[in-house]
Structure 1
């Protein structure tokens, strides 16, 4: 199942003719991923960093591919005026001067995000070196949030054997979402699932309670968020609050939630907090043998993907392909 869904994502991404920027080109895993993406004609790449130093230091990492990456580095002396103008315009309400905006663009994360924001690249992939917070900060400051959404969150695409892929959220960004954040996470996760899998999203708002079986302020939050989503995005098939078995097992759904539109066949699972989401995806990965692709950042106007700092080069390839499809 892992190979099937990942291969489909890579194949669809290769048909989009897009460009992905990598601000952490000094990481040998990034160079290897970039080589693969170009050689397999999945996308064009832009690499940020000192070309001579990076290629001299990491020539072995790209030697197995025939691609010469020397032509894919962004010249450090290129004209940045339009990028400075963009970043200054976005940040001047915070008191950022044009000179300060120019200084910010010396950070490869900000440069990558601004290249995406201005259309010089279609998406960015970072986080093999930088922290999630650093990646998100650059993305919010330069790219900004999608209209109608006020939250950057993340999903993991979980591929299991003999099982259609599932989406888990949020597993990496928002620790304890409030009502509006939880609604944003669910709406964006439905959108992400549909874009990556080409399947209708069936969203379960998870809790330790099913349809009032337990009363607590945390279960009430899930109920209120579900109602808010139904108002904001009535096209989404959604139900909550539900325990996982009532959302995933049709026979249990009949007993615990007989009127649920999900009928125990949810494919997007929104966890009430980051503790639950992060633990759940790692348990699914380790005990069920699932392949977890992510974290996939969502909620931005244009795609900028985050990586786990423990990622391998193939994870970076998959993140680039996800960015391409998220930008559709």
Structure 2
């Protein structure tokens, strides 16, 4: 995939560690064995070593070289408990409660990232999205200057030219009804994420109206959000509000908004709400024959990503590379 080569090259120059919260899951073990063979990303598997090692052996996956950490026997647990209590002092969390919480792989793995043991985290093979995102919000928190965590999907499809067509769509998984300021932040994060995949961002704020052709508060929201995004990121070509056909079709753009620098060529799409975003990316995936990677979480202090519980080992492998490549050196 366009962008994957760049990500792997980045990791080869600066290898990272990624923690998997479900260390004995067969899909995780298969992906971990591939990563170990590639030698640019070290897996940390959470679970009892004897259980994880036996699962790998039974399935025929070579996981020698992976770090396996059991929350029940972690040598720095006292240090982790103290830090957890400090991070959650507003909730008056006591050490006994913290120790109990940290036996859960999702919280334990997130604290490994917080403590610098791992650079990034990938979870959700058996956990829900909420169970992956909640610890990240509580412990990793948002980057300075950011107010929200958002997400985007990267969609990839081979084109007739031989190069992949790569698009970014946001926010399709986290923010239910983002306001104008949140939409501007979502656009900025999605554009930067797209660059990692080789996208030269051209950002469209989508609506049922194109530059005033329709009326309504939802139209106003997207138009205002686009203006705020332009002020936030004057380095990016941004336009809105645009209908989807005007955003992607040069012919339609020539009729509806001639001379617009984004219309007809957009590759980063900002949706008005999670309904539109989730439906939109799934239509592209299922009817447009795009491969969808994500949701990729954006705005956190460290890369933490969520898998679909229906994922396969190939998706785990790909998402591990994506997640680790998001680490800022």
Provide the TM-score with structure 1 as the length reference: 0.92
Measured after TM superposition, the shift of residue 238 of structure 1 is 0.8
Give me the whole-angstrom Cα distance separating, in 2, the residues matched to 1:220 and 1:275: 18
Deviation digits for residues 36-79 of structure 1 (CA, Å, limit 9, x no counterpart):
11111130111111121233245333x1x44425x520142321
1:213-252 mapped onto 2 (5 Å cutoff): 213-252=213-252
Does the alignment pair 1:130 with 2:131? Answer: no
Measured after TM superposition, the shift of residue 200 of structure 1 is 2.7
Residues paired across the two proteins, number: 322
Partner of 2:316: 316
Measured after TM superposition, the shift of residue 289 of structure 1 is 1.2
Partner of 2:11: 13
Greater alpha carbon shift after TM alignment, 75-84 vs 110-119? 75-84
Aligned partner of residue 117 in structure 2, secondary structure:
coil
Measured after TM superposition, the shift of residue 241 of structure 1 is 0.4
Gaps of 5+ in 1: none
Give me the whole-angstrom Cα distance separating, in 2, the residues matched to 1:319 and 1:57: 22
Partner of 1:174: 175
Distance 1:235 1:89, change over 3 A: farther
Gaps of 5+ in 2: none
Give me the whole-angstrom Cα distance separating, in 2, the residues matched to 1:325 and 1:133: 23
Provide the TM-score with structure 2 as the length reference: 0.92
Greater alpha carbon shift after TM alignment, 149-158 vs 71-80? 71-80
Measured after TM superposition, the shift of residue 117 of structure 1 is 1.7
Partner of 2:207: 207
Aligned partner of residue 293 in structure 1, secondary structure:
strand
Distance 1:114 1:68, change over 3 A: same
Aligned partner of residue 73 in structure 1, secondary structure:
strand
Give me the whole-angstrom Cα distance separating, in 2, the residues matched to 1:85 and 1:241: 49
Give me the whole-angstrom Cα distance separating, in 1, the residues matched to 2:43 and 2:130: 24
Measured after TM superposition, the shift of residue 84 of structure 1 is 2.4
Greater alpha carbon shift after TM alignment, 219-228 vs 86-95? 86-95
Partner of 1:141: 138
C-alpha RMSD of the superposition: 1.8
